[in-house]
Amino acid sequence: MYNLLKGKRGIIFGALDSKSIAWKVAERAHEEGATFVLTNAPVAMRLGTISELAEKTGSQVIPADATSMMDLEVLVDKAMEILGGKIDFVLHSIGMSVNVRRGNHYTNQDYNFTKTGFDVSALSFHRVMSMLYKKDAMNEWGSIVALSYMAAQRVFPDYNDMADNKAYLESIARSFGYFYGRDKKVRVNTISQSPTPTTAGSGVKGFDGFIAYAEEMSPLGNATALECADYTISLFSDLTKKVTLQNLFHDGGFSNMGVSNAIMENFMNTFNHETDNVEELEK
């Protein structure tokens, strides 16, 4: 380890269980010398095992609904009290689509569900930064990171309204990040991560296919949750003090690919097999 975060204090949202990227970030931040509080919505805390992570990293857990300004105010105040000062880094790792959970097709959404998913997955990021900004809770050259996905730029049909949420999340990072950088010297970025087999991701229809396809498409293969944690740590550190307003692709090169040899070979093999079957039937 490199002590990249020695003496730094933070808040980590969204560590559900050991599969989650936020969990890995917390472990790596602890290894790099940081102290932090963990937070998640009360319902998520009941479903997950965050208390195990807290014990492992010597952290305290503060329940907070990220869609509630009242909860966020309590969270920020308690975090600074527990940690003994202003915050140096924040991870927003929150996302949820009720439409996906209920199996509603993108063209036939329940818009009340859409609003809920938008509030949890994207608007919560604005709420978090707004509370931190108003309370002047971040140290200069602090770093705020949110996790995104390539569906914000390209069509992944079964990713549903989560794609819209991620697109808005990235826009918030740029817009709020301008004011946070100008006024407080705080960095705001998003990481567009490879499809990762987390508990949340597994709820998306065909997600195994996303993972397999990206693995074949990417020249370096998919980035793991642990590798994403390493990248996040670098953005929390002083080594990236002038990186802000960016959506940073951490996907093994997937985002710049049109097609790979492996994908084309698989396609042609399937195409030739189907063509041979048609010709056989015509005989």
pLDDT per position as a tens digit, 113-153: 999 999 999 999 999 999 999 999 999 999 999 999 999 99
Q: What is residue 47's predicted lDDT score, i.e. its pLDDT?
A: 80
Binding site residue list: 14, 20-21, 94, 166
Question: CB of 156 within 8 A of CB of 204?
Answer: no
Q: What is residue 282's predicted lDDT score, i.e. its pLDDT?
A: 63
pLDDT at residue 225 tops 80: yes
**Measuring CA to CA, which residue among 148, 164, 125, 162 is closest to residue 255?**
148
Catalytic residue set: 149, 159
**All structural domains of the chain:** 9-282 (3.40.50.720)
In the structure, what pLDDT confidence band is assigned to residue 281 with cuts at 50, 70 and 90? low
Taking residues 76-104, what's their average pLDDT? 97
* Mean pLDDT over each residue of the chain, to the nearest integer: 94
Binding site residue list for NAD(+): 14, 20-21, 94, 166
Q: What is residue 271's predicted lDDT score, i.e. its pLDDT?
A: 74
Q: What percent of the chain is predicted at pLDDT more than 90?
A: 84
Higher pLDDT, 200 or 80: 80
In the structure, what pLDDT confidence band is assigned to residue 29 with cuts at 50, 70 and 90? very high
Higher pLDDT, 192 or 274: 192
Q: What is the pTM of this model?
A: 0.94
Q: What is residue 203's predicted lDDT score, i.e. its pLDDT?
A: 65
